[in-house]
A and B are shown apart, each in its own frame.
Chain A
């Protein structure tokens, strides 16, 4: 089984420096592109590979790029931004790529920038990844020294500057338009769309924001072609995927596997099954803002379409397992506390609704809940759902809540009947 993204990552060894990366075939994709591939051809290649954005939304990367204005009359400078904010609770996949092989990301970014003819690029890195920050800073310098960044890259006439920006907290920064506001030195509140960032992004210029894992796929697609990339996958979405499992399993971790492995294989084989004494009760398949799946879904494929068909989202592909010893009400309360705290306060349903949801769940968990509280929670899943808020934060928050109310409703009711948490 091929693992292109993580083949050269060994957690017990330091990350590859420039020379070592080159010895594993690094920067050959950039050489290939610089020796005569047009930006349009590169966009088409990535579009046809069916690479979908690994940050959570799952949009075709090549199509996203194709919405950028090209040619002499396009506004300039254009920007390419790597979203390395990784703040979705339960998500720890990009860390592996950032700490394990920073040049792979940098090469992917240069290629993406070439495809859209952007001359300025940023890595927007979350503050907590100190090790990654040091490595990326050093690797960017190495790439400049080797002529992979800066003016006239490999004689192609293309020039690109790259900067590292480290954040100062707030989940909202992961939302692409909020991220742009943060890079402009503003509060990280989302922007109205349209205009989309491709037309008016950072400082009002055409901008593409791509996730770390997405960008890391690009050099491999250029080197090995579309058919190879599609062949890595068990499903119609191209490539491999970094999958993670956390919670009370025997071997929590992150693994690069063919896109579309089953949830059962991930939990039972790779994560070693549940810890002794507990059973699987529910799974958030792709981070805190995805709907619960349960034991009846173990055989679904972990790709965008199959997880959606089961009523959830692949999201970031890093699943959080809820075991039989953990109270679903307490679990969901923890999630809603997070979302209420991280609401940027821009729109009313999110700013006012999420703290209300959090309070209702806390009173239920303490045994002080009333029957109407469950109805109120149901109502909120509608009022804060898609279409009622400015951005996807509150609808995302409602996903685990609505599915918990669906699958674990008796647990909510028991808190009211017994006037205490039955798991205490």
Chain B
């Protein structure tokens, strides 16, 4: 077991400044993950040249892969840094911010576009009110199983980082939002605005922007069947197109 680990980290001081690589060599401690190493750097922020530098800035919160905060590109692969166990990674370990979002600082990026996409596809149930209206609608177990899987999406950004179509310069909604549309279109009451969701998905940045590379489903840390969701929404959109033609 080596007694040190080398990290090469792509840093950037602000949104507008250029990026640069900085190397950190830290003591190897068994059972480390990338986050515990970044914490070690915080507690002793010194680069490999022995210079005191500002600690690396990154996002994290739950540290157990349910909040989606700590997504970054580790050894060229997008994933959560909490579940990236150091002993399983090739060394030196490279850390980069996701490339499909504006960098805030170092490894922290601005993913507000993903939350904006959830607004566009109206990813919510329209309720009559929050008072006592009795139980909800009964649902078969197999329906719940599909919905639960889709509902585990934590808006982490892995799917869109891996997607060749999603870029800083376009307005593609991305796999996560398309999959959420499927979730709400199958909900017994949220489906009442399914047509409005499909209208959005038929516009620029919608389903037609998907190039079917299928990288998203590979990258999803929660194994959400994103390509199935895209196919299902594709079917719903086609159905709507046909009915639009017949109604016209």
Instruction: Tell me whether A and B are bound partners.
Output: no
Where the two chains meet, the residues of B that have a C-beta atom closer than 8 Å to any C-beta of A are none
Which residues of A are interface residues toward B (Cβ below 8 A)? none
